[in-house]
Amino acid sequence: MNRDFPATLVDPFQRRISYLRLSVTDRCDFRCVYCMAEDMQFVPKPQVLTLEELYRVAEAAVGLGVRKIRLTGGEPLIRNNILSLVQRLGALPGLETLALTSNGSRLAELAAPLRAAGVSRVNISLDSLRPDRFRELTRFGDLAKVIAGVDAAVAAGFERIKLNAVILRGRNDDEVLDLVEFARQREIDIAFIEEMPLGQIEEHSRALSFCSSAELEQLIGSHYPLQPQGDPSGSAGPARYFSMADSRSQVGFISPHSNNFCHLCNRVRVTVEGRLLLCLGNEHSADLRPVLRAPGSSRVELERAIVAAVALKPEKHHFTHGEEPEILRFMNMTGG
Ligand code: SAM
Ligand code: SF4
């Protein structure tokens, strides 16, 4: 292919971009209280990238050195025909890791076909093991279905399964050890994510509900001695992981507030409207949809747009605990 630009993605701070989080829908069958407002406006259908357009973005990114793609949303598994996209991505030369983040509601049926199509890692969100509370936190979620989804994922033999839990003070902070035990029983990993100020929510005060990773680490460490796992610039990305002597499960902490990991950032996101976001905590972005939809547009033009966008990647985010959201975009729009 004739390119008049370098076929690699290096930002102005010399960070090499090798990881793309690709949102395949902003819609979801849940309305988790920290992620969405009760009454959400979703992207009008004509602005949603088609599966073919999503594939073209992935192909161009891999052509520029991206080696890992995580499909996310919204809930990626409610997108129509998602398996057809997964199958194509699973066969994309140069892509080393195809991963997925899901709320688990459809994994009971889809775990085995996703594994067969080439997904090697799944993250499953699970914030409570009590059915009533799970329903309250997700507004619509059925805990039994999600647990069946986790178990189907374990049976399907993914290389890595990780639970993601967002802990809110006074809501589920008494379940931290139960969640760790749930992961240990299945020999899967678990990461605790600090709540981030993405989108305006009325349901609770993000400042009052905040639970720091340091606090959770101390609580878990007092029950299961935690051994730090190496350098966070490895595959763990922004999470810090710990092992436990008597288990294969690892415990991670993703701490955008208390542990700034921006200097290690190797990722960009593409929203389902085709907006390439350079940072979770900043608005810097480039719109790929006009490039994708320009008559006769080629892969080189798409690659050129991606290379130009990476030059906009900011050095870091500045999350604080103010009551006003710093980013008006909700997490389901961002592609978590
Ligand atoms: N629907 C899928 C799921 O829930 O796993 C994938 C998308 S969801 C936006 C990805 C992750 O973002 C989930 O683990 C969720 O807990 C997390 N998340 C959503 N809103 C968040 C917020 N405001 N702060 C921190 N994490 C958030
Ligand atoms: Fe849906 Fe995931 Fe957001 Fe929950 S966290 S509302 S499951 S997109």
Query: Could you read off the pLDDT of 123-178 as tens digits, one per residue?
Result: 999 999 999 999 999 999 999 999 999 999 999 999 999 999 999 999 999 999 99
34 lines ligand 2 (CB under 6 A): no
Taken in order 137, 143, 149, 152, the sign of the CA dihedral is positive
DSSP SS3 for 89: helix
Confidence at 250, pLDDT banded by 50, 70, 90? very high
Cα-to-centroid distance, 163 and ligand 1 (Å): 11
Amino acid 258: pLDDT: 60
Nearest CA to ligand 1 atom 21: 35
What does the DSSP assignment read for 260-294? --GGG--EEEE-TT-EEES-TTS--EEE-HHHHHS
Cα-to-centroid distance, 171 and ligand 1 (Å): 16
What structural domains and CATH numbers belong to the chain? 19-334 (3.20.20.70)
Cα-to-centroid distance, 35 and ligand 2 (Å): 6
- Whether residue 321 has pLDDT greater than 60: no
* Site to substitute for ligand 1 among 21, 123, 125, most atoms within 8 A of C-beta: 125
Amino acid 233: pLDDT: 46
Distance CA 145, CA 242 (A): 29
Contact 244, 251 (CB under 8 A): yes
- Whether residue 333 has pLDDT greater than 80: no
Report the candidate in 51, 55, 49, 65 with the shortest Cα–Cα distance to residue 3: 65
Phi, psi of 24 (to 5 degrees): -100, -5
Looking at the DSSP bridge assignments, the partners of residue 280 are none
Q: Report the mean per-residue pLDDT for the chain.
A: 90
Confidence at 117, pLDDT banded by 50, 70, 90? very high
Strand 275-277 to 285-287 pairing: antiparallel
pLDDT digits (tens, 9 = 90+) for 40-66: 899 999 999 999 999 999 999 999 999
Tokens found for residue 297: 């547009």
Q: pTM score > 0.75 for this model?
A: yes
Nearest CA to ligand 1 atom 11: 336
Amino acid 198: pLDDT: 74
Which amino acids bring their CB within 6 angstroms of ligand 1? 28, 34-35, 72-73, 75, 101-103, 125, 164, 166, 193, 195-196, 198, 331-332, 336
Amino acid 308: pLDDT: 93
Nearest CA to ligand 1 atom 18: 35
Residue with tokens 């080189």: 300
Cα-to-centroid distance, 314 and ligand 2 (Å): 26
Distance CA 88, CA 52 (A): 10
pLDDT digits (tens, 9 = 90+) for 225-244: 999 996 544 544 567 899 99
Strand 68-72 to 19-23 pairing: parallel
Nearest CA to ligand 2 atom 3: 35
Cα-to-centroid distance, 265 and ligand 2 (Å): 23
